[in-house]
Structure 1
Amino acid sequence: MTRRLSDALRLILIVALAGTGLTDGRKCVYSIGSPDHRAVVEIGNVNGTVQHCARTDCCIAAVHLLNNNTNITTQGCSVIQGSCTDLLCLLGPLRRGNYTSCVCSSDLCNSHVAWSQDAVLAHQLSLQDLPQTEKVQATTSPTSLTSPRLDLTNMELHQVINRGRYAELWKGSLEGVPVVFKLYPSGCCRCYDNESTVYGLALLRHPSITCFLGEGESGQSGARVLVLELAQHGSLRAFLSQHCSDWAGTVRLALSLCQGLSFLHSEIHRDGVYKPAVAHRDLSSNNVLVKADWTCALSDFGSATALNLRPGPRPLRTQEVCVQVGTPRYMPPEILDGTLNIRDPLSSLRQVDVYSLGLLVWEMTTRCTDLWTVSPVPEYRPAYEAELGPSPSLDELILLVSERRKRPALTHLCRGTTLGCGALMEILKHCWDNDPEARLTAPCTEKRLSSV
């Protein structure tokens, strides 16, 4: 579905820069585009582009669909006092002509909107009855939606974030709004198609999953482009290199990462719509982003695999499961030595992610100020750098991780006096257990960490 960006994307920066020190209560992005919606002003204090709700926990966004473009007309606190459960603003079927709206239940969640599967299906049904109506493009599969196609004529590339094997990551702007562009050259169609497919899965919306804004093509180079929300602090690697946090902040950072992976690994059935379990397969400190509120968001799904996809599942081929995918230092023993259980990819590939998760949480703990009360907090070093240096070879990792079964040192947690250090140590040990079947699942890790 084509989506106009000028209203929705310009508000992403508001979300990223929403500061502390504001009044208590739900905070909603505020904009009034019609005199008919002046009642929104009366239900909360307005501070520039943010409204602090006085009598509701729900934010609202009203939109007008015109020529396949979604134009946000009103944003603010919900006038109707009621419950709202969705963390994101998911638009329902059109009503009152070409108008509809959505409500959501997290701070500034109405900054941008997405169409729910119910809305897409309603559009399709209406097209059958009114063939002259402008078409809203969507797939008929209940597991995926057509990714929004964007006009990238005004795409501006400002700064290279990373140049990877298959794609380049750029900070830039579109229609004056800061975004991230992921550029795949024409020869890397498979990785692009894979990542685009994962982002396009129905119900793949979560605060700990990088917000996907759409895709298109670069007119100059012909590269295929994914447009993503800009995470203020960049990658987890960059964040940990520049920031320390106290115990509460460290647990918050780790828990948000666990929540994202738990959501990714989960099958979801909702109102006839299905999201399959997805294995990331390349969790690393470069592929996790840190947002303005110091929480994590999973990114880079070029190697991800949707498991038990419905309808019409395509069984994973043996060579797809056995391939050594991922960043070597975050690979578990069964990937390093080729003993991955290919008979049960649904479980085994999720277990691979949990091992990597354990290493990332360990990296977070090394930058926790409450665990280094006697000596200064050390500089950030990724997993196994202390043992093998900055660029370990595959053979070195196989010897250390698989054959000798070594894991990063937990000394700082052993001597930590903070309540919960012992529990976190046990979580890490169960995440990176040498036996994949003995590892925690992502939902279980999330549950245990939330108690910490």
Structure 2
Amino acid sequence: MVDNMRNSTKCWSFSKNNGREKELVDCPVGVGGCTASWQELNGRLKEFTYQGCLRRHYSYNCSSDYCRTIRSARLSPSNYKENAKYASPTDDVTVKICCCTKDGCNDFVTSQNTRLGRKMRFMTSQTEMTSQIEISSLMPTRMTSFETSYPTWMNAVTYCVIITSLFAIFAYLLRKVLTSQTFQDKLCHHIRQNITLDEVKEDTTPLAESVTLESNLSEDNVVCDVIVDFEDVIGKGKFGIVYKAKGKNQNCALDLCFKIALDSADSRRCHDNEINIHEFLRMRCDDRIVTYYGTRIVDGKNGIILQYSTKDNLRNFLDQNTIGLKKCINMLCDVTSAVAFMHEMNYDGDKPRIAHRDICSSNFLVNQDLTLVLTDFGVSMVIDDVTGNTYAEHLTAEGAPYYVAPEVLDLSINLRHHGEALTQADVYSTSLVLWEIVTQCDDFYVKPPPHSLPYQHDVTTIHDLINHVVVRKKRPDFRFDLKSLGSRGTRDVITNTIIECWDSDEECRLSASCARDRMILLGKALDDVISDNLTGGDVTNNDVAIDDVVISIDDTVGLIETVV
């Protein structure tokens, strides 16, 4: 009897199904050890179900001093009567059994190859499980009340709300940074800075420096006997001064401009760059580009000889004059044609694509017949169509501030590698010049407003300009008179074209060639109306469709008669 008692094993006993409370009992003689079982849901502890003695006929290796897992079986949720409140049919419910040989060894169990941890104390209630500090440290992956109480779709919604909130916070902080005074100061500094001589190496120059030889010019563009009046200053810019000059071409006297660089490295660089741009442009002459007569050294000063325009530049002309509908459309055609010519490549290989980068109303000259020509190519860039890159590596934002595109103001444009972006920035600047012309057309107003530059009355500093154009995405107002109902169809075509050219997204803007084609088509339609009106043709029942916008001839006949 004593021997039997000495060989018996003490085990913890508990049964969830029978309602037996946990207690330490003596196992019958011949029992090989202790056992315990529990359930796991998706690899995490769900509940303990049984503790007791292990009979010898269980052929398991239970020779360890702690309760080691000896069997694991997956239980189908549909066959488990209590699974409905714990699991869905897609969950993994597993029953595990462990055994050991030491007295009371089944109070601690281990679960191998699971996420339960190394060792767990056997507990008979959820309250006891959550109140044990020891178990919290040993079972870091035990299911929480949140995981067992809420369905998966609610977790997904929560994650979406968190991600959306983080994105909104990020957008708010980004806007605060973009509109902060410190950031805008850096932008202003970037816009105003230029290339220094030390930064630019010989192999990064956009084009090689050269002086035009008379033999390279056509006979019509060769001038002689150039006399410069250095007392007669036509204009002075950031990089150069323009003087009035005279010369002869095929024994005909010409009024000329003589442009020299200021005494700085930047000015000399722009001066040389302008010469090289003219060298490219002269290979394909265009009436909308200022005539180039080569270079001369006069009184020790190396200058560029250009045509002289009697009506000054477009900005000064619009300050003092209004224009009729016909002249307005002609000027719009000239502006868009000049920019399109710059942007288009000649496939004979003698003219590449060129981005002007300083388009504004003061860089268009007005001839005696009120035609316009584009000038000032000091910061222009030649674009390599093969790679889409520009020849220069050291670039900064250029142009008159009011005309600078939004993507250049906020530095989102890549000035080193995106030639297409440079041309689309030109299109934005062109749209503002078109706006200046349209606002001085007396057919669109009872009385045209005084000429003003874009945003002149909206902003006073570069900080205001960035906030107005980049952040708020504002554009100039046409301010058409509601009482002036004439030329509505023509006006709509023009305004829609301008609006499409100054879109905030540079990829959504029209190309310069598309804007040019619209204006040319509009001019031809107007010419046809004038011709029919002069010949007495019946035009009262005709409409001219231009890019899905219909110009009502009935509304324009009266004004066209006035223009004619």
TM-score norm. by structure 2 comes to 0.50
Where do 1:3-18 residues align within 5 Å? none
Output the amino acid matched with 1:296.
Answer: L
- Structure 1 contact 152–216 (Cα < 8 Å) conserved: no
Cα deviation, residue 413, structure 1: 7.5
Where do 1:43-122 residues align within 5 Å? none
Moved more, 301-310 or 421-430: 301-310
- Structure 1 contact 160–170 (Cα < 8 Å) conserved: yes
Where do 1:404-415 residues align within 5 Å? 404-412=472-480
Is 1:177 aligned with 2:254? yes
Separation of aligned partners in 2, 1:314 and 1:245: 40
Separation of aligned partners in 1, 2:242 and 2:462: 26
Cα deviation, residue 314, structure 1: 8.3
Partner of residue 428 from structure 1, selected from 498, 520, 532: 498
Is 1:213 aligned with 2:293? yes
Separation of aligned partners in 1, 2:361 and 2:406: 19
Give the equivalent residue in structure 1 for 2:428.
355
Q: CA RMSD in A?
A: 2.7
Output the amino acid matched with 1:210.
Answer: V
Give the equivalent residue in structure 2 for 1:251.
329
Separation of aligned partners in 2, 1:237 and 1:313: 33
Q: How many residues get paired?
A: 300
Give the equivalent residue in structure 2 for 1:276.
352
Change (3 A) 1:337 1:244: same
Partner of residue 227 from structure 1, selected from 300, 305, 318: 305
Is 1:417 aligned with 2:465? no
Change (3 A) 1:417 1:304: same
Change (3 A) 1:400 1:416: farther
SS of the residue 1:369 aligns to = coil
- Structure 2 contact 390–418 (Cα < 8 Å) conserved: no
Moved more, 378-387 or 154-163: 154-163
Q: What percentage of residue pairs aligned between the two structures are identical?
A: 26
Cα deviation, residue 342, structure 1: 4.2
Change (3 A) 1:237 1:340: same
Partner of residue 272 from structure 2, selected from 177, 193, 210: 193
SS of the residue 1:434 aligns to = coil
Give the equivalent residue in structure 2 for 1:400.
468
Give the equivalent residue in structure 1 for 2:207.
none
Cα deviation, residue 149, structure 1: 8.5
- Structure 1 contact 257–296 (Cα < 8 Å) conserved: yes
Change (3 A) 1:344 1:217: same
Give the equivalent residue in structure 2 for 1:119.
none
Separation of aligned partners in 2, 1:260 and 1:447: 12
SS of the residue 1:178 aligns to = strand
CA deviation profile, 1:252-305 (whole Å, cap 9, x unmatched): 1111111111111100023xx420001100001111111112111100000101
Separation of aligned partners in 1, 2:354 and 2:442: 34
Separation of aligned partners in 2, 1:413 and 1:316: 47
Output the amino acid matched with 2:286.
Answer: H
Partner of residue 319 from structure 1, selected from 394, 398, 402: 394
- Structure 1 contact 150–215 (Cα < 8 Å) conserved: no
SS of the residue 1:433 aligns to = coil
CA deviation profile, 1:119-141 (whole Å, cap 9, x unmatched): xxxxxxxxxxxxxxxx9855xxx
Separation of aligned partners in 1, 2:458 and 2:388: 43
Please list every run of at least 4 consecutive aligned residues from structure 1 whose deviation after the TM superposition is greater than 6 angstroms: 148-153
Which ranges in structure 2 are unaligned for 5 or more consecutive residues?
Answer: 1-212, 523-564
Is 1:296 aligned with 2:372? yes
- Structure 2 contact 240–260 (Cα < 8 Å) conserved: yes
Output the amino acid matched with 2:309.
Answer: A
SS of the residue 1:405 aligns to = coil
Cα deviation, residue 181, structure 1: 1.3
Which ranges in structure 1 are unaligned for 5 or more consecutive residues?
Answer: 1-134, 139-143
Output the amino acid matched with 1:218.
Answer: V
Separation of aligned partners in 1, 2:231 and 2:263: 21
Separation of aligned partners in 2, 1:259 and 1:268: 15
SS of the residue 1:449 aligns to = helix
- Structure 2 contact 390–417 (Cα < 8 Å) conserved: no
TM-score norm. by structure 1 comes to 0.61
Give the equivalent residue in structure 1 for 2:233.
160
Change (3 A) 1:161 1:351: same
- Of Structure 1 and Structure 2, which has the larger fraction of its residues in helix? 2
Separation of aligned partners in 1, 2:270 and 2:383: 17
Output the amino acid matched with 1:417.
Answer: G
Separation of aligned partners in 1, 2:434 and 2:273: 27
Change (3 A) 1:317 1:299: closer
SS of the residue 2:382 aligns to = strand
Q: Which has the larger radius of gyration?
A: 2
Separation of aligned partners in 1, 2:237 and 2:225: 22
SS of the residue 2:473 aligns to = coil
Cα deviation, residue 347, structure 1: 0.8
